[in-house]
Amino acid sequence: MLESLIENLPGMVYYSSNDCNLNMNFVSDNFYSLTGYQPEELIQNQIIYNQLIYPEDRKYLGQERQKALVNNQPFQLIYRIITAKKELKWVWEQGKGVYCSNGELLAIKGLIIDITAQKQVESKLTKQNLALQKAEVALITANQQLQKVARIDGLTGIANRRSFDEYLEKEWRRLTRTKSPLSLILCDVDYFKYYNDYYGHLAGDDCLRKIAQTIKQTVKRSADLVARYGGEEFAIILPNTSDKNAEKLVELIRTAIHKLHINHSASRVSKYVTMSMGVASVIPTKADSQQSLIAKADQALYHAKEKGRDRIVFFNQDCSQGTQTYLENNLSYAKSQENISQSFLLALS
C-alpha cells in the first residue's frame, strides 16, 4: 500500500543520511525518470546525488538545508540538476529531518519534483514581460518626443506658436496669483519678403535660423521663452519682468541682430538684416487676458514699422488705438487653437 502510494507521487521520494554528499538510503523508482540513472546506482554509491546538482547551486543548497535542519524546520528548495543525458532540469525539493528523542538528527526524508516545464513557462513569461516593458518604455519615449516635437518649430529649433500660446496662458494665470509683472516682445524681420525674393528661400530659411538662435542665446533666463510666432515674426515671453528690465533686454537683442551683419541689399533701412520690435508690460489680472498683452505688443510693433522700422517701440497710450480690434479679430483664432490642441492630445492618448 505504502509502496504503491510512493510510486504514484509526482516525483521522487528519498531517505538520506545527513552528510555533504547526501548519500541516499532509499529512493523511489521515479528517480530514473527524473535523472536518467537507476535507483540502484545511487544506493550503491556509484553516483552521488550531490554531484548531480548544478555546481553553482550546491553551496547555496547546503547552507539553506542545514539552516532548516538545525532549527528542526522543514525546508523547500528550488535548484538545477544535471541528468545522465547531460540535460539541465529544474527541481523542487521539500524535506525535513528525522530526529531521535534527544534531538539528534538521524536522517533526512523528502520529495523531489521535476518543475522544468513550469520554469520554462516562467522564463517565457518573464521574457514576454521584459519585452512588454521595453515596448512600454519605447512608447512613452516616443510620446514624449512627439510632445516635444509638437512644441518645437521645425525650421528654427525654438518653441513654436502652440508652445507660445500654452506658456503665455500658464504664466498669465501664475502671475495673476502672485501679482507680478509679465512682459512680451514681438519682433519682425524688416523687409523679409524682399530678402526672400532677392536671395532665395533657402537663404531666407538660414537667416531665420540665425536670428532665432541669436535671440535664444541673448535671452538667458530659463523661465523666458523664445518662440517663432509666425513667418518672420518672433516672440519672447518674459515672466517676472518689468518694463525697465524688458527695455534692457530688447536693446541687447537688437544689438545682437545688428552684429550678425547678415547682408540685406533689398532692405530700405539698412544694408544688413534688421528687426522692428514691439514691447508691452503688464501685471496680469483676472479681469484681463493674455490676448490683451499680445494686442499691446502687436500695436507697439505696428508703430515701430510705421515709424521707419529697425527700431523698438514700447506700448503706451499712443499705441492703444486698434487694440480692441486686434482682440476681436484674434478671438476666433484662440478658439481654433484650443480645439486643435485638444484633438492632438486625444490622438496621443
Which residues are part of the catalytic machinery?
232
Place of cell 503706451: 316
Burial group, residue 277, by CB count within 10 angstroms (0-12, 13-18, 19+) = buried
Residues 6+ apart with CB under 8 A from 190: 264, 267, 269, 270, 273, 274, 275, 276, 305, 309, 310
Residues β-bridged to residue 188: 233, 276
Which amino acid is present at 97? G
Name the phi and psi angles at 194, rounded to 5. -65, -35
Q: What span, in angstroms and rounded, lies between the C-alpha atoms of 298 and 186?
A: 7
Question: Rounded CA gap, 103 and 130, in Å?
Answer: 48
85 Cα distance to chain centroid = 48
- Edge to edge, what strands does the sheet with 75-82 contain? 24-27, 12-16, 105-114, 88-99, 75-82
Residue position matching grid coordinates 545688428: 258
**Residue linked to cell 523531489:** 112
Residue pair 235/229 in contact by the 8 Å Cβ criterion? yes
d(CA 14, CA 113): 11
d(CA 293, CA 51): 83
Diameter over CA atoms, the chain: 112
Give residue 130's Cα distance to chain centre: 17
Contact 276, 311 (CB under 8 A): yes
Sign of CA dihedral 17, 4, 114, 32: positive
Task: State the CB neighbour count (10 A cutoff) for residue 328.
Answer: 11
